[in-house]
Structure 1
C-alpha cells in the first residue's frame, strides 16, 4: 500500500467524515474483507492438478475456523464429457477418505474449449506494451533489446505457449460462470519454469486467470502428500 493511501486511511480513521476516493475505498474494503465472519457462502476449490493435496487441505483448515465455519466447500475438477459421472464418484470417494466435507463436486468437461474471441483480443491488447516483436526488427537490434529487457514477451514464446495462454483465459470464463458468488476461490497456481517463460507473460497469465473475480488464492504444492487417510 503506497504512502498516499496509508495517509488517507489514517485520516479516515481519525475523522470518518473524510471522504475516500473510489480506489482508496476499494482498498479499504478489501483490507477488511476477511476480518469479519463470512456467513453462509462457499469456498470454491478448483483442483486442476494433483499437487499432494495442499489445494484441498487449506480450504478444509480454513472452514474449521470460526469466521468461515458457515461456508461450504465446493470442488471443481477437470474431466472428460463421457466420464463425468465416473470422475465425480471417484472424487467423492477420495474426499471421503480424506474426511473432507463438501457440498458439491462439479466436473468440467469443457475445460479445454477455446476461449471466446473477445477475451482473446482483450489478452492480446493487455500484453501489447510488453511484447518484443523481434520479427519486425533487425536481428541484432532484437537481441540487444532482449538482453537488456529479458522480461519482454517474444513472438516465438507467445506462439510456443499459445495453448497455455488459452487455458488461463478459458478458466477465467469458467470461474465467472461457476464461482462469481464465492466468498473465496482456491485454485491451482499455473506452473512456469524459470528461464522458459518471461515474467511478463507469466504475470499476464495470472491477470487473465483472476480478472473480475472474488478473492482468489493460488496454491501450488510440491507433490509431496499433505493428506493421509486410514484404509
Structure 2
C-alpha cells in the first residue's frame, strides 16, 4: 500500500479548489466537450500546481474517466461471503468507470489430481452463475501450492522488521511482534505472499484487481497483518481488498435482474 504524506492545510486547500472547479463546471452546464471524453473538466493547472496537490487530484479522480473494454481480475482466495464477487458484478453496470468490463476470476485449489480440480471448478462456476458472471474465464491455479520466492520473503521481512521485538522481552511494546508469533503465522504468510506473486504475474495489465481481504484476528500482530495487506495491494493496477459476512454462498438465494 502506498501512502501519501501531505500537510493537513494543503490537503484542505486542494479539496477546496477541486470543489470550486466542479461547482463551476456544473453551473456552466454540467458537460464540457473535451478531447479525453471526461464528464467534468476539473483539472486546472493554474489553480492546482503544487506536486503534492496534483498527486491528490490524480488519486481522487482516477476513477472518474470511463475505461472502455476494461478488465477486472478477481482473486478469490477463500469463501468469505459474496461481496468479493458482488463488487465486480456491480462495477460492470451502467454509470461505473468500468461499465461493460470483462471479468476474470482466479482461485486456488487444494487438490493435486484432475478430479479434485474439476470438482472445485464446477463449484466455483456455480458461484459465478449466481452473479451472472461468465465462467468461461475462470482459472483454477494449482501454483498457489508453491512457496514464494526469496525476494518476496525479503520484501515482506523488510517491511515488518522495524516492529520486531525480542521473544523473551519482559515488557512487550504494543504494535510489535516476536519470532514466535511470526513462526505461528508462517503458513498464512506463505499463502498471502504467494498470492501477491500470482497477482503480479497474471494481472499486471488489469484495470482493477479485487482480492479477498485477509481475516483480522486479535492474535495476529498488526505489523504482520498490515504486511500481508501491503504485499497483496502493491500491484501497479488499483487493488481493492474485500471481505464479506462469512455467509456461505450456497446459503444465499440471489436474484439479479
TM-score under structure 1 length normalisation: 0.82
Match of 1:123 in 2: 156
Q: Over residues 169-205 of structure 1, what are the superposed CA-to-partner deviations in whole Å (9 max), with x where a residue is unaligned?
A: 11111000111122211111111311x0111111111
Which of the numbers 98, 104, 107 marks the counterpart of 1:74? Answer: 104
Superposition deviation, residue 71 in structure 1? 0.6
Taking a change above 3 Å as real, the CA distance of residues 16 and 77 of structure 1, as seen in their structure-2 partners, is: same
Q: Helix, strand or coil for the counterpart of 1:39?
A: coil
Hey, which bits of structure 1, 4+ residues long, moved more than 6 A? 11-14
1:228 equivalent in structure 2: 253
1:197 partnered with 2:228: no
Unaligned runs of 5+ in 1: none
Specify the alignment match of 2:89 in structure 1.
60
Please report how far the alpha carbon of residue 106 of structure 1 lies from its aligned counterpart in structure 2 after TM superposition.
0.9
Q: Secondary structure at the match of 2:244?
A: coil
> Separation in 1 of the partners of 2:17 and 2:87?
36
Q: Deviations over 1:19-73 (max 9, x none)?
A: 432x543332121111121221111111122223221112112212333222111
What is the aligned partner in structure 2 of residue 7 from structure 1?
13
- Count of aligned pairs: 219
What residue is the counterpart of 1:38 in the other structure? 67
| Bigger relative contact order (CA 8 A; separation at least 6) | 1
Q: Kindly indicate whether residue 207 of structure 2 is the aligned counterpart of residue 187 of structure 1.
A: no
Matched, 1:164 2:188: yes
Say which SS state the counterpart of residue 177 (structure 2) adopts: coil
SS at match of 2:74: strand
Specify the alignment match of 1:49 in structure 2.
Answer: 78
CA RMSD in angstroms comes to 2.6
Choose the corresponding residue for 2:231, options 192, 205, 208.
208
Secondary structure of the residue aligned to 2:190 is helix
Distance 1:215 1:102, change over 3 A: farther
Specify which structure has the higher proportion of helix. Answer: 1
Q: Which residue of 2 aligns with 1:152?
A: 176
Instruction: Indicate the residue corresponding to 2:170 in structure 1.
Output: 143
Contact 2:148/2:194, CA 8 A, preserved across alignment = yes
Aligned 8 A contact 1:81 1:110 in 2:
no
Which shows bigger deviation, 40-49 or 65-74?
Answer: 65-74
Q: CA–CA distance in 2 between the matches of 1:98 and 1:175?
A: 23
- Using the size of structure 2 for normalisation, the TM-score is 0.75
Alpha-carbon spacing, 1:181–1:81, altered in 2? closer, same or farther (3 Å): farther
1:94-129 CA-to-partner distances (Å, cap 9, x unmatched) read: 322443345611111111211110111121111111
